[in-house]
Structure 1
Amino acid sequence: MVEIQPKKLIFTMIKTLTKPITFDDFIAQYPNIGGRYELHDGIIVEMPKPKGQHSTVTGFLIEELILTIIQMGKRGIWTIPRESIVKSSNAKSGYEPDIIVIDQKAIATEPRWASESIIECAESVKLIVEVVSTNWRDDYFKKRADYEELGIAEYWIVDYAALGGRNFLGNPKEPKLSIYQLIDGEYQVQQFSGDDIIISPTFSAFHQTANQIFQAG
């Protein structure tokens, strides 16, 4: 009899899965999967492996956001966790943002944070940042819609390589940083490119230009 290893079995399930799974089933499997996966409408999706510049841009933004948090006197109150899963309001999806800034006071009331690093309440989140990869449609369409519905106050899409569609980046396409601010339950967007100074509704002390971010490293 051939013994099937648990990890191999999970990868087989991911490849052959046709029936959506629940968020709780995804969380139960997650520690054994390995790599980086998200749940999209009940389907486990493997995230693209970040390339060098993607990682550099993400790291640069983390450093700048930490400095901004300190300058704003929020050190120890607003923090950037290493890992977290944001649960959609319909409980069909779970996302692991490239960067997330959380409010330590609000996160204390999250029932699954201490044991599973799960965020279910928008009040726990000050900012979510997605740095665009080849799966850009997820950032611009699906995640934007789910973050809006959940009530995330501020969401950045950092498209440093101009991978997104022309309806977002213009024609010809150019790198842009899009800031979505929740106003009356709907996202309003402001875009920055070139030498535009980033203007964040939440992080008023953040003064980098779009190009400083795009050209990091």
Structure 2
Amino acid sequence: MLQTESKTMNLEEFLDWYPDGYGRFELYDGVVVEMQPTGTHEQVAGEFGTELAIEIRRLKLPYFIPRQCIIKPIDSDKSGYIPDVAVLDWNALKDEPMWKKRSLITKGETAKLVIEVVSTNWQDDYLLKLGEYEKLGIPEYWIVDYLALGGRRYIGNPKQPTISVYQMVEGEYMVTQFKGEERIQSAIFPELNLTAEQIFKIGE
């Protein structure tokens, strides 16, 4: 992550500033940060995108995976996050006031699933974004920690590569973790046949 602007912005200013077709940026409490993912990070995210797109098409679900979208926290106009993978509901887009103009998501029911692939700024995924996505009411949030970078209180001790699947239950996230040959369990994609190890091999 690299801070790119010295002045702070609100979300509207950030969206006006955002360079078209160049780079990947997020807004954290008014501060513009450039995301600089590694090639392996992008491979892992891309594999999830591919597998989920296959499921969407196979089951003829009313979902799609955008190339990029920005998720706005429910109680801030100074932050906006770009998930590594997002599965959006076609039918919910009609209620998103800024979608056609900005590809901006403001309602939790629009995003059926959000995936973040952990980088060195792992606290953002396990603390900041987890809390914001929960408040929005996004049904599922996956944290893919293929390098076991997260704190021991999140992935255990000794640390090992872990996929944490947070599912919304009565207004709060409950987590199930998957390692090794365990098949990832998802309420959004219940027939997904993908193990944690299949993903982690990509990151080796």
Map 1:153-172 → 2, pairs under 5 A: 153-172=139-158
The Cα shift of 1:184 comes to: 1.3
Map 1:166-181 → 2, pairs under 5 A: 166-181=152-167
Cα distance between partner residues in 2 of 1:99 and 1:33:
18
TM-score (norm 2): 0.92
What count of residue pairs does the alignment treat as equivalent?
A: 199
Residue 52 (structure 1) aligns with? 39
Cα distance between partner residues in 2 of 1:151 and 1:121:
8
Cα distance between partner residues in 1 of 2:87 and 2:20:
26
Cα distance between partner residues in 2 of 1:155 and 1:93:
18
TM-score (norm 1): 0.87
Cα distance between partner residues in 2 of 1:173 and 1:57:
19
1:41 to 29, 37, 40: 29
Cα distance between partner residues in 2 of 1:32 and 1:201:
35
The Cα shift of 1:33 comes to: 9.7
Q: Matched residues, percent identical?
A: 47
Rg larger in 1 or in 2? 1
Cα distance between partner residues in 1 of 2:142 and 2:170:
18
| RMSD of aligned Cα (Å) | 1.5
Cα distance between partner residues in 1 of 2:14 and 2:171:
29
| Mapped pair 1:82 → 2:63 | no
Residue 92 (structure 1) aligns with? 78
Cα distance between partner residues in 1 of 2:20 and 2:180:
42
Q: Deviations over 1:129-183 (max 9, x none)?
A: 0011111110000000000011111000000111111111211110000001111
